[in-house]
A and B are shown apart, each in its own frame.
Chain A
């Protein structure tokens, strides 16, 4: 039977076409339609479909999250749990290292996305403008996204190596030997060095999204601007970037969320040092949970709970600020 044969002239399924309104066949005719519209499916069927995902979500996301909040009101030593009320939260307020970690994470989360998005946009514009070897460059620039953080970290530790890393070798080659330094070993440059590494890894992702957005811009607007003798710079400034604004803001918020949780790169490259210059909230939580010569998960749970609230609040705030003009989707 061909697909056409199964559909009546009115465009309805054959079963429905045969049964007119008010006929005895009408209740039977509702069955296929009933199944076709998920909004009218029975609760049981819905539950069967939703249950697996819901169970996974409840077991692997919701329960750990609530358990973390619950644990934050206890001190847990070995197998003993001692309720301590808000003591962990009070201790957090006086924890100097925690505040250093908060400062570093905020710097990273608010500043680095600008670098990420700007780099991605520039690369996308270069491809859009028809840079030579564009197809190759598109792959090359996207490749770091596919690398694991471990590989990226090791690669950049080599690049930053004081003795033979390409950064210092290039500086020496340019006669700027005085600028060479241990980029990851100097508290004044370590965080910036990590931010650059992170931006390098994610620039390709931003590039792909920006490129897709540029290609989806209405061609008539761009053509009209060309008819008006609008130059490349003016077109970029007055047409392309404003029209890409929702995309760029979405990318910013996505990058912001990712950086509020940054861990892998820091852990491998600096471990939070030197002198806590690259300590982030995530690395500090890990240290307190697993490197502190204690089994107490109460205090690290308190940090995680506070930070969960901070991330949610920051995202809501960013949404409010940006949504004043654009609707964000991520």
Chain B
């Protein structure tokens, strides 16, 4: 912290000196942000950038909103040629930028005490922090209270169904002609694995689940096989939409809360980015009976209260950028408790910036209350499978666990063999 404060002071002194020169032109830095189609996040980023520009005269920001996949593709070429933006969006599941030496540590610029302690490890390497963790999330199981009740299932006060209870929910949903789980993998490499891997976390507990994701535990482990067999049973019952393979993330939102409607929707808590948009823009209709339940407790599970927590959208500084002082000052200006609070207010999503919950004023207070209740007394496991999986293992996860297995295309044995072949360390 002391180092960050000292750097900020030095930067401030530099700005004053530059200001006294009088004739210095402001330095323009470039910034690429994700979220072109998520108004709340876009507004938050824009407001922070404008506030930074207003607070000093030495740095201006050329801000662009670009879809995440395009940022990654363009940045991969740009960082090699020295043409990457000074600040850009990145998630911890793209470790190659850090490994390649293309990211600048932010320790020298940002007061790290303004970041949540649980969020820092996502961007820490060799004792230095490389990213500003703006967006964080937990993996939740959203549900339609009215539809679940209508098919004859009562969610207990603990908000967690048993393994049999969830199977019963799926069976009753199918019988009633309501899709039990709205999910699609048409444009994302991860949603199809949410139900299975959250179930595996609760079955194995954090230690063995970590071993599984690190390739130290086989998918043929009896407990893993048992959980996969359970999920396969749900798949065969008809848990997922028939259009699962081509349904996109945005469409699966619409599928859940508009047309045709589904009982549940496993999704990271960034769910709000789309759901809280106006209904006319594809958001959740007013008065939608949204509930959040825990993923089902597995029979004989080691950790029914476990839950995945992860850092997603972050901002990093390009190590070969020519305006690192301005870039660092921008990130420093974003890393405040006030900005963390504003993020939670505006986006209705967790953040890796420290915040003050007592000051949050949101039109979605009920939602926050329920989200907080579902995250009370839980044991967090940090990171989703794609944070751990790399290269062929990640590709196999995408093709097998995200797509083919939940689509019912392959057996438990086949899926386990493919994952072990790609991920298990010998």
| A residues adjacent to B (C-beta < 8 A) | 77-79, 97, 157, 160-163, 182, 184-187, 272-276, 287, 290-295
B76 and A274 form a contact (CB under 8 A): no
Tell which of B99, B241, B260, B403 touches A78, judged by Cβ atoms closer than 8 Å: B99
A275 and B243 form a contact (CB under 8 A): no
B245 and A182 form a contact (CB under 8 A): yes
Q: How far is the CB of B395 from chain A (nearest CB, A)?
A: 7
A274 and B394 form a contact (CB under 8 A): no
List B residues 64-113 near A (Cβ within 8 Å).
72-73, 76, 80, 93-96, 99-102
B139 at the interface (CB under 8 A from A): no
For the complex with contacts A182-B245, A274-B404, 6 further pairs of A-B residues with Cβ separation under 8 Å are A77-B100, A157-B186, A184-B246, A272-B399, A290-B72, A290-B76
In the complex, chain A residues whose CB is within 8 Å of the CB of B186: 157
Tell which of B94, B390, B409 touches A274, judged by Cβ atoms closer than 8 Å: B409
Closest 4 CB pairs of A and B: A185-B245, A78-B100, A162-B243, A162-B242
A290 and B100 form a contact (CB under 8 A): no
Q: How far is the CB of A266 from chain B (nearest CB, A)?
A: 14
In the complex, chain A residues whose CB is within 8 Å of the CB of B395: 97, 287, 291-292
B410 at the interface (CB under 8 A from A): yes
On chain B, which size bracket covers the interface? 20 to 34
Chain A: CB-nearest residue to B99: A78
A sample of 20 cross-chain residue pairs with beta-carbon separation below 8 angstroms, ordered by A number, consists of A77-B99, A79-B80, A157-B186, A157-B246, A162-B242, A163-B241, A163-B243, A182-B242, A182-B245, A182-B246, A185-B243, A185-B407, A187-B409, A274-B399, A275-B400, A275-B404, A290-B73, A290-B76, A291-B395, A294-B390
Counting residue pairs across A and B whose Cβ atoms lie within 8 Å, the total is 83
In the complex, chain B residues whose CB is within 8 Å of the CB of A287: 395
Q: How far is the CB of B129 from chain A (nearest CB, A)?
A: 20
User: How far apart sit A77 and B391, CA to CA, in the bound complex (Å)?
Assistant: 14
Q: How far is the CB of B77 from chain A (nearest CB, A)?
A: 9
Q: How far is the CB of A74 from chain B (nearest CB, A)?
A: 14
Q: A78-B100, A79-B100, A295-B76 are in contact. Are A275 and B399 (CB under 8 A)?
A: yes
Q: A78-B100, A293-B394 are in contact. Are A182 and B243 (CB under 8 A)?
A: yes
User: How far apart sit A295 and B244, CA to CA, in the bound complex (Å)?
Assistant: 32
Tell which of A162, A273, A293 touches B391, judged by Cβ atoms closer than 8 Å: A293
Q: How far is the CB of A54 from chain B (nearest CB, A)?
A: 24
Chain B: CB-nearest residue to A181: B242
Chain A: CB-nearest residue to B73: A290
In the complex, chain B residues whose CB is within 8 Å of the CB of A276: 399
Q: How far is the CB of B188 from chain A (nearest CB, A)?
A: 10
